[in-house]
C-alpha cells in the first residue's frame, strides 16, 4: 500500500544537523530538478528527517516519528521543494509554492513504480494532487480522502478538522497491518474506526472518493 501525503506549511526549524545530501534522498531520478531548486542557504542549512520536519495539523495527528520504520515507509510526501520524499529523508526547512506542471513528468514514473499493484490511499489536498494523478489500473485502486463535518443534517468542510482527520485516518490504516487489494476493502478497514462513505469514480481514470463523516 502507498499512502500519499501533502507537506505542511508549518515546519520545524532545526538549529543543527547535517546539510542536505541529495544523493541520499529517495527517488534519485529527481536529483537534477531538486538541485536546481536549491540556493546556497538551503544547501548549507541543517536538516531533519521529513517525518520530524513537517509539523502541521495533519502531521500532529499522524505522528510519523512514532511509527515503526517499516510502517512509515508506506508513506510518500509530495514536496514543492523536493518533488517527493519518504519520511526518513533528511531535508531542510523551506518555503516554496509547488509548480505541479514542472514536477508532474518527473514524479509520474517514480510514483507509479512506488505504488506498484497496491492500493493507494490519497490524503493530499487538491494543490498537490495536481502533481501526480494515478492513471489506469492505479486510478482504479486509489481512494482519495475527503472529510466533512455533519451537524443537524448539514455537511460542511472545515479545513483544520479535515487535516486532523486525514492524519488520523492515515495512521489508523498504516497501523492496521491490513493489506487491502481494492478500494472497497480499504474502505472496510477505515470503517472500523470512522464513518466512511465510498463513491465510485465519476469517469474512467479518476480515483474513488472516500468521504469521512465527522459529527
Domain range holding 43? 2-214
What percent of the chain clears pLDDT 70, i.e. is strictly above it?
100
What global pTM score does this model have? Answer: 0.95
CB atoms within 10 A of CB 18: 12
How deeply is 64 buried, as exposed, middle or buried, from its count of CB atoms within 10 A (0-12, 13-18, 19+)?
buried
The arithmetic mean of pLDDT across residues 8-12, rounded, is 96
Strand partners, 5: 77
| Domains identified in the chain, total number | 1
CB 200 within 8 A of CB 208: yes
> Closest by alpha carbon to 119, among 107, 137, 104, 132?
137
159 or 136, higher pLDDT: 136
CB 119 within 8 A of CB 186: yes
Q: For residue 34, what pLDDT band results from cuts at 50, 70 and 90? A: very high
pLDDT at 31: 98
In whole angstroms, give the CA distance from residue 101 to residue 214. Answer: 34
Amino acid at each position: 500500500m502507498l499512502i500519499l501525503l501533502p507537506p505542511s506549511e508549518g515546519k520545524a526549524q532545526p538549529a543543527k544537523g547535517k546539510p542536505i545530501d541529495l544523493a541520499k534522498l529517495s527517488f534519485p531520478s529527481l536529483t537534477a530538478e531538486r538541485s536546481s531548486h536549491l540556493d546556497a542557504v538551503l544547501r548549507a542549512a541543517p536538516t531533519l528527517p521529513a517525518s520530524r520536519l513537517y509539523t502541521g495539523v495533519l502531521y500532529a495527528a499522524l505522528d510519523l516519528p512514532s511509527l515503526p520504520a517499516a510502517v512509515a515507509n508506506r508513506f510518500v510526501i509530495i514536496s514543492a521543494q523536493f518533488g517527493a520524499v519518504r519520511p526518513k529523508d533528511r531535508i531542510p526547512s523551506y518555503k516554496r509554492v509547488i509548480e505541479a506542471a514542472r514536477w508532474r513528468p518527473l514524479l509520474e514514473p517514480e510514483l507509479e513504480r512506488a505504488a506498484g499493484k497496491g492500493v493507494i490511499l490519497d490524503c493530499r489536498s487538491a494543490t498537490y494532487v495536481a502533481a501526480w494523478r494515478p492513471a489506469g489500473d492505479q486510478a482504479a485502486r486509489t481512494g482519495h480522502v475527503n472529510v466533512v463535518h455533519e451537524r443537524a443534517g448539514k455537511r460542511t468542510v472545515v479545513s483544520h478538522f479535515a487535516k486532523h482527520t486525514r492524519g488520523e485516518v492515515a495512521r489508523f490504516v498504516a497501523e492496521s497491518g491490513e493489506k487491502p487489494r481494492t478500494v472497497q476493502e480499504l474502505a472496510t478497514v477505515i470503517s472500523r474506526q470512522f464513518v466512511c462513505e465510498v463513491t465510485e469514480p465519476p469517469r474512467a481514470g479518476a480515483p474513488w472518493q472516500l468521504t469521512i463523516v465527522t459529527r
